Every structure is written in structure tokens, then in C-alpha cells.
Amino acid sequence: MIRVHDLVKTFGDFRAVDQISFSVEPGEIFAFLGPNGAGKTTTIKILTTLMQPTSGSLTLDGLNPATHQHEVRHRFGIVFQDPSLDGELTAYENMDIHGVLYGVPSRVRSERIERLLKLFELWDRRDAFAKTFSGGMKRRLEIARGFLHTPKILFLDEPTLGLDPQSRNQLWSHVKNVNETDGVTVFLTTHYMDEAEKVAHRIAIIDHGKIVAQGTPAELKEQTKTESLEDAFLALTGNTIRDETANAGADQMRQFTQMWRR
């Protein structure tokens, strides 16, 4: 469903993604794990047509996101890592405009919006402006929105960030559900190893823009001779904390090069 070969993305001298290759089979739940600034979000942005790769080849359902942007956009849904709601619209309106943009017919749309807002316990607040929501509620709304249409591939970029355990459970059981009943392929990133271990069929670990290991959770534990995925992760990526300044530097560089590219 997703094939990536020797993908590279550079911002100036900084190699955010450095020759990575992996593939995700149809119907699979694939977790992409790595420390802050490892290149996870950059990879997702390239796969979801928001960014052009520097080099390498990739296909999504047989199509190249760099050249067949429109066709590719028909095939995936995404829950972004950072906020993507319109705060000046109500919760319901945020869902509704998404439904229109993704071509969900209006009758199905209102039914599904109601079901999803109830599932993520936002129905009572449906007419409140999104800007008045707490962080967790905004997150829940974005997740509910992500499930409004049924894509072939669902990207979840750190979807559980800032969520309480109840909502997390709700989210993962829903993810498993659409994966099993609708055959949706899921590509996710998270910092919670227990979640990855519970839901993912296969895992790739990325660090400093390179993939350092790939396999099922059991294979990764065996490979590193560790007891838990968390230990395996630490064994593979080391104990050093990636400080925020390194990250901010990358961000600045990104903005700077983007500003001068045109």
C-alpha cells in the first residue's frame, strides 16, 4: 500500500530524512517510532503531498504523491500532529466542512458526525466554537474528524498527544475497528510504546533521519534481547534526550529555506 525507497529530504545542510526505505502492506497497522526530530512528521508530510521529497522514490496505492497529488489525496485521511481546526467555527461546522471537502454525501454526513461526536463525547458541545475547547477536546475533535470519511490509508501523527486514558482507549479501539471491518491501512506515529505494542502489526524505528530497525514488536524485542518495546526502543536509539533547541534549529532552517526557495 505504501512503498518508500531511498527517500531523502534535506533542508539546507540538514538531512531530516536520510535514505529511508520501508513498505506497508494493505490492511496493516504500521507504527513509525522515533525520538523528537527524528524525521517522522517530515516523512508523513511527503507521503501526504504537503512536501516534495529531495530524492528517492515513493508510491501510495501505486501512485506517486509528488506527481499525482490529487489522486493520492483521494486515498488517505490524516490526523495531524499539530492543531488543524478552525477556531472560529463550531465543532459541528468543523466536522461538516471536512465532510464537504472529502465528498461525504450530506445525509450520511450528518449521521456520521452525530455518531462520531457522541463517540468522542463532544456532542453536547457541538455548537461551541472550537477555540473555546481545552487541548484534549480539540484533539478529540480532530480525531473524530479524521474518521468522518473512510480512506484507504489513515495517517495518525501522534494522535494521543494530550489525551486522557479514556479517550486513548476509545481511539485505539476505533482504529482497530476500522482496520478490521473496513480494511483501512493505518500508518501511525506515537511516543507511547505500550500503544504501539498493542495495536501495531509492524514497527519501524527511525532516528536521525535513518531507519534503525524494522519488524514486528516481538522481532524487535528479540533483536535487542529486551523485555519490552520501550527497552528495545531505548536500546536502538540510545538514552540521550533530543533537546528542543536542536528541534527548533531544524524548524528555523526549514522556514528559512522555504522562504528563499521561491
Interface with other proteins (CB under 8 A): 45, 48-52, 70, 73-74, 76, 78, 80, 82-89, 93, 97-98, 100-103, 255, 258-259, 262
- Give least dist CB 231 to other proteins, A: 35
Cα–chain-centroid distance for residue 163?
15
- Give least dist CB 73 to other proteins, A: 4
- Give least dist CB 28 to other proteins, A: 21
Contacts of 108 (CB under 8 A, 6+ apart): none
Whose CA is closest to 50, among 29, 90, 80, 28? 80
Cell 468543523, residue located: 94
- Give least dist CB 98 to other proteins, A: 7
